[in-house]
Amino acid sequence: AQRVTQPEKLLSVFKGAPVELKCNYSYSGSPELFWYVQYSRQRLQLLLRHISRESIKGFTADLNKGETSFHLKKPFAQEEDSAMYYCALRSYNTDKLIFGTGTRLQVFP
Amino acid sequence: DAGITQSPRHKVTETGTPVTLRCHQTENHRYMYWYRQDPGHGLRLIHYSYGVKDTDKGEVSDGYSVSRSKTEDFLLTLESATSSQTSVYFCAISDTGRADTEAFFGQGTRLTVV
């Protein structure tokens, strides 16, 4: 079965501090991993996906198949990064898009 | 924003009444999803569709049914609403079944069952 785990419900940091939002997954096949973000009063939107290997708004995420993790990182957090972040998984064998429980990031000035 | 509209945006209903939520898209995307968002549970998949009249269950499908009679509309029905179905409901669409395809989300429907 597909499962995504985000162990932290809330992560609070000060502006300029490094940020790491954890995501672990379980899936026996070869999944695709995503990070979605929901800013206040906005729609949920894609932040980045593993296959693109890109950096968006300073965020990066590396897929570690050995540890089945896809942690989201940013070296210097900004106040505008405050939002709800969801890790998501989609497999090549099913059409389901499964989300984790989400982590709320608060960045204080 | 992708052309996704959810209606209604807010609804209060009584326990035991039927409720239908509508998701309408103008993108001609093949895949459509219904999720519920609850504190501590994140987004949980209720049902999804991979084409007209082709639907399947998600993680939390009990108490919900769906229908998709045309590409642009995906309806979520609560046959007999219960207080545990108080939630924010999100619709999402994606173009293909490829695993790396981005999903686009609606603005959500806040449903309160009293």
Largest CA distance in chain A: 44
Amino acid at A61: A
| Record: contact A96-B48, CB cut-off 8 A | yes
B23: which strand partners? B6, B74
Rounded to whole angstroms, the Cα distance separating B41 from B2 reads 26
Instruction: Tell me, yes or no, if B83 comes closer than 8 A to chain A by beta carbon.
Output: no
**Average pLDDT in the A50-62 region?**
85
Please, is A73 exposed, middle or buried when counting C-beta atoms within 10 Å of its C-beta (0-12, 13-18, 19+)?
A: middle
Instruction: Locate the chain A residue with the closest alpha carbon to B97.
Output: A95
- CB contacts of B45 in chain A (<8 Å) are 96-99
- What is the predicted pLDDT for the residue at A91? 76
Strands A69-74 and A45-49, sheet pairing? unpaired
Mutate to test the interface with A, among B43, B57, B68, B110 (most CBs of A within 10 A): B43
Per-residue pLDDT of chain B (114 residues; tens, 9 = 90+): 569 999 999 999 999 999 999 999 999 999 999 999 998 899 999 999 999 999 999 999 999 999 999 999 999 999 999 999 999 999 999 987 677 788 999 999 999 999
Instruction: Give me the residue from B41, B92, B99 closest to A92, CB to CB.
Output: B99
| pLDDT tens-digit series, residues A1-20 | 788 999 999 999 999 999 99
Q: Which residue of A94, A95, A104 is the best one to mutate when testing the B interface, meaning the one whose CB has the most B CBs within 10 A?
A: A95
Mean pLDDT of A90-108: 88
Using CA atoms, how far apart are residues B41 and B27, in angstroms rounded to an integer?
A: 29
Residue B1 Cα, gap to closest chain A Cα (Å): 9
C-alpha B110/C-alpha A77 separation (Å) is 31
pLDDT of amino acid B1: 59
